[in-house]
Structure 1
Amino acid sequence: MAPAFGRTTHDTAWVLCTGCKSPIYHKRMARTIQVCPECGKHERLTAQRRLETLLDPGSLNRIHLRPANEDVLGFVDTLPYPARLAQAREQTGLDEAVVCAGGTIHGHAVIMAVMDFRFLGGSLGATVGDLITLAAETALAEHTPLLIVTASGGARMQEGAISLMQMAKTSAALARLDEAGILTVSLITDPTFGGVAASFATVTDVIIAEPGARLGFAGRRVIEQTIRQKLPPEFQTAEFLREQGFIDMIVPRQRLGNTLADLLRVGNFRTSEADDVQLGSLDQHQLVQDPRLLPQHDPWDTIGKARALDRPTTLEYASLAFTGFQELHGDRISGDCAATVAGTAWLGERPVVVIGHQKGHTPAELARRNFGMSMPSGYRKAARIMRLAAKLGLPVITVVDTPGAHPGPRAEEQGQAVAIAECIQLMTSLPVPVIAVITGEGGSGGALALATANRVLMCAGGVYSVISPEGCAAILWHDRAAAPLAAGALGIDARSLLSLGVVDGVLPEPEGGTGADPALSADRLRSALMRTLAELTSLTARELVHDRRQRFRRFGGLGSAAETGTNQEIAR
């Protein structure tokens, strides 16, 4: 039998890679799951092979649906539509272009809908829409994550407007999973276009793509003919789309099982599993909550410590203070800001979302990360991941270390003020515990956009201010050299901020600062977070929102008067 991809040589035991054209022994290709060992080209898999590759042996449980009468138009091109269907069924052994099943991946339950491009180009017809919808309804009934593997040229033209309606039907089915708090994941394989790309493939919580997979609404040839321009080779590839903010991660086929299992572990978590929260080993007195216990330091010297390049970054804390961090990319609108990182992780035995500013230690890394100054796409990415946390009931942990939001013209053109405002407002309404930690610089609204939390902790060497001392000096003293005076006047250090109630607790740092012993700093952070989270998880969603709003309502003369009325309101 000929292989399912490429062309054969005279010896059918060999196949030609469709990418580099190298002849590969078919058994070697089978061992690499149809990935060319020479160039890494990911050849297409059948739906059955995909299920066998991902699901644990013996766990597959097919979800069947008898095909309805698809030929509502009596459509004929070179063949009547029923003849085309019969031909596709004979050639593939499938009833339709998607196969649905339940099972487990590394022991974690999942409902899968896997498309097969061999069946009429994986086109979206009524039965395909019914099967995707049935898979979503099964996931809803079983409260189990849904994984959709896409491979499609788009809508099925032979079914006319009925095919078009499947985009809305399947999208509505996934919306019900959003309402129920059930994780949804797309795996984009090559190709995914048209009505599939513009519906269930791209509205999931997490979008994973195989290397080189193409995704788009209109095909390359259609676009080139329309605009009469040659498109770049990487256009519409997964790599291109991740840069544009539309793909969370690109995962080679050999690593898909582990990646999906990590996501499913989070998606299958039940809050009752973590009722006995581990409190960690932090001594109660190590999280300082009395400003009198903190030594007085020169504020300008503290600025220097907060900006030190050896201080641990968010990604370092994510690997040292948490386990299983899985970074998610993109704002699904315009880009993926490197100055903001976000993803799921585990704090002890509880899944959480971690979001933070990312600086770096070297000039090259600082430049690549924009010195930790987020673009609007960074705040929109943070907001997207916060919404995912709210949907799944995951606590949000933010790590703040930024001089401020990026102040350039491109950021303004992309709506920097709006992005920050929306992020702050969203945080006031999240129905989950929110804890912010200022680990270095907390600069202005760019910091507050990730620090509108139930509890705000701070490393002793950090700073938090409405403006940089240099900026304040330039505006009020008309002399940037007056920055040390401004630093003292602004009350930016941990002792001053704890006195004002702007932060709720201060973490002492190792001798020489957090950069001198990142592991110890991360241990202290982990313990403080676990203790703080244990306190917050006793509150209901409504109480968490009330607690957070009241925390910020208190900053002003009317705070206590307003609190009385609000307490009466929540009591009702």
Structure 2
Amino acid sequence: MTATAPREGQLWSRCDGCATLLYRKRLRRNLDVCPECGAHARLAAPERLRQLVDPDSFVALPDQPAEVDPIDFVDLVPYPHRLIAARAGTGLAEAVVCGTATIGGHRCALAVMDFRFLGGSLGCAVGELVTRAAERALADRVPLVLVTASGGARMQEGALALMQMATVSQAVAGLREAGLLTVSVLTDPTYGGVAASFATNTDVLLAESGTRMGFAGPRVIRQVTGGALPEGFQTADFLLRHGQVDMVVPRHALRGRLVSLLAAAGAGRPAASPPGVPRQGKPAPVGAAPTAPAGPADGDAWETVRLARHPGRPTTLDYLETAFDGFVELHGDRLGADCPAVVGGLARLDGRPVMVVGHQKGHSTAELVGRNFGMASPAGHRKALRLVRLAARLGLPVVTLVDTPGADPGVRAEEHGQAAAIAENILALTVLPTPVVAVITGEGGSGGALALAVADRVLMFQHAVYSVISPEGCAAILWPDRSAAPQAARALKLTGPDLCRLGIVDALVPEPAPAAHHDPQGAAVALRAALLVHLLPLLDVPTATLVRRRRQRFRRFGAARPDTRAGVR
């Protein structure tokens, strides 16, 4: 169980996690995290603000909500008496502190809950204050950061407390519509009505280490089900594994992670232009678009397939380390899983914030197995969908890196709606109101590849492949046996030059000789240059024009052009 931060003036305190007696000043220097076992003590809202925001930057919201006792609630003592005791014990007017501040120089609005005040419960006053914080963020066009710590809705205010779940969620929806980032920092504990509303309907969810979060508490679940709970149930790591949060962050890294998120998302910048209105500003000048020599793609298609599958070939995470800057990975589909075959998050390209989503294979056998060889489950496709929709709300361009033999063909994938998940991605990317550039970096296999490759520009590495089916699969169906795979590879026209001639791919990205896995850094340089050439001009295209051209791009594949019919046959 997470410890409670000791009161000021105490010289020593005992950790609830390991029972170690700790010197108070040492504990405070360690941000109230036990240096022996890592248990995170609960923090009061003022202390949380001191740790997160820039010094002297916090300005509390000026208006306080009116006193409320809406249903004259009395249990052992009248509700007003409980409020008086909570205010005397905490020095706060309510269970949340709201205002504006800067974090790493980025302006934002904040609402920080305090569990000491009636268990951080959500009542009318708390709902009003958090709503005003959201409205202030909307008025100032800055992100909203919520720090939650709550047992749920306040019982003493009856159904009116329940209504605050909808009231605050509605305010968060307004920020989404305006394209402003919303971030929840879940701290221990976050339960009930807060967990089931604004704490989890923000764009990004960070869980502080040691946090427990859920709708019903463990005691209630045990009473209702009569069964034992899994090890680590509702803990931060449990939530991450089940796709419920984007990341788990220790307290000492929390401020830095918020700074990275606010910076990568372009905190405080103007929202995306409405349909038909060009984006402002000119892209930085770059060199000519890189082009790839013909290489084995024009000579031996099967050799290109073998190069595309080489285990040393750079992966999406490799490129995120080298071709992009400041990557912040976001996890989970928010429905129950976090597919390791798809990675994505916020990054920067030449100083511009972008959303990057890609397949992840790995290099070693253990990595390949752990990532399912880059074959995405329905959860992976839904994670990608969540991230590209977040990019659209924030007005960020999207870069997808495609490297997969195909979508996961397993039984569980079918049970969880693999076909529908791919279909939804294709549909969403077709009308996504922000620029999309897709790069086939290795294998582009079937619908699993297309789920991330519906884009304004489709690029392809020199030794990559992109096909309706694998050569082995094609050979097994149309030839006597799978040994005809090399022949099938040539017939499928799956290499870069073939696909450029068909109009499916716009340009090839050159690879260092003899291939990308021999010089991953050189491949990253080529990728970065190609993205700058092809992505930056799209930023000046009005949104309506962008979507219309993307749809026209794929409409033209309905009938083969005269110069490509022979190749198609």
- Alpha-carbon offset, residue 455 of structure 1: 0.4
- What do residues 260-281 of structure 1 show as CA deviations (whole Å, max 9, x unaligned)? 0111122333479982423444
Partner residue in 2 for 1:139: 137
Determine the C-alpha separation between the residues in 2 that align with 1:295 and 1:491.
10
- Alpha-carbon offset, residue 66 of structure 1: 2.4
Q: Say how many residue pairs are matched.
A: 551
Q: Is the 8 A contact 2:512 2:518 kept in 1?
A: yes
Q: State the superposition RMSD in angstroms.
A: 1.8
Partner residue in 1 for 2:224: 226
Query: Normalized against structure 2, the TM-score is what?
Result: 0.94
Determine the C-alpha separation between the residues in 2 that align with 1:292 and 1:40.
56
Query: Normalized against structure 1, the TM-score is what?
Result: 0.94
- Alpha-carbon offset, residue 295 of structure 1: 6.3
The amino acid across from 1:83 in the alignment is: H
SS at match of 1:296: helix
Sequence identity percentage: 57
Determine the C-alpha separation between the residues in 2 that align with 1:292 and 1:13.
73
Structure 1 residues 409 and 99, CA, compared in 2 at 3 Å: closer, same or farther? same
Is 2:535 the partner of 1:529?
no
Partner residue in 1 for 2:552: 550
Q: Is the 8 A contact 2:65 2:129 kept in 1?
A: no
Q: Is the 8 A contact 2:5 2:42 kept in 1?
A: no
Q: Is the 8 A contact 2:187 2:211 kept in 1?
A: yes
Contiguous gaps of at least 5 residues in structure 1: 561-572
Structure 1 residues 203 and 295, CA, compared in 2 at 3 Å: closer, same or farther? closer
State which of 93, 104, 107 in structure 2 corresponds to 1:106.
Answer: 104
Q: Is the 8 A contact 1:5 1:43 kept in 2?
A: yes
Partner residue in 2 for 1:346: 348
Partner residue in 1 for 2:113: 115
Is 2:513 the partner of 1:511?
yes
Partner residue in 1 for 2:172: 174
The amino acid across from 2:374 in the alignment is: G
Partner residue in 2 for 1:327: 329
- What do residues 140-194 of structure 1 show as CA deviations (whole Å, max 9, x unaligned)? 0000000000000001000000000000000000000011111000000000000
Determine the C-alpha separation between the residues in 2 that align with 1:528 and 1:274.
22
SS at match of 1:318: helix
Partner residue in 1 for 2:4: 5
The amino acid across from 1:405 in the alignment is: A
State which of 287, 293, 297 in structure 1 corresponds to 2:291.
Answer: 287
The amino acid across from 2:544 in the alignment is: R
Partner residue in 1 for 2:268: 268
Determine the C-alpha separation between the residues in 1 that align with 2:53 and 2:540.
37
Is 2:74 the partner of 1:70?
no
1:9-158 counterparts in 2 under 5 A? 12-158=10-156
SS at match of 1:537: helix
Partner residue in 2 for 1:465: 467
Determine the C-alpha separation between the residues in 1 that align with 2:230 and 2:487.
54
Determine the C-alpha separation between the residues in 2 that align with 1:76 and 1:438.
65
Q: Is the 8 A contact 1:110 1:147 kept in 2?
A: yes
Q: Is the 8 A contact 2:459 2:508 kept in 1?
A: yes
Determine the C-alpha separation between the residues in 2 that align with 1:68 and 1:132.
14
Q: Is the 8 A contact 1:294 1:495 kept in 2?
A: no
- Alpha-carbon offset, residue 538 of structure 1: 2.0
SS at match of 1:554: helix
The amino acid across from 1:554 in the alignment is: R
Q: Is the 8 A contact 2:296 2:304 kept in 1?
A: no
- What do residues 92-113 of structure 1 show as CA deviations (whole Å, max 9, x unaligned)? 1100000001110111111100
- Alpha-carbon offset, residue 287 of structure 1: 2.5
- What do residues 409-429 of structure 1 show as CA deviations (whole Å, max 9, x unaligned)? 000001000000000100001
Determine the C-alpha separation between the residues in 2 that align with 1:64 and 1:202.
27
- Alpha-carbon offset, residue 501 of structure 1: 0.7
Contiguous gaps of at least 5 residues in structure 2: 274-278, 563-569
SS at match of 2:298: coil
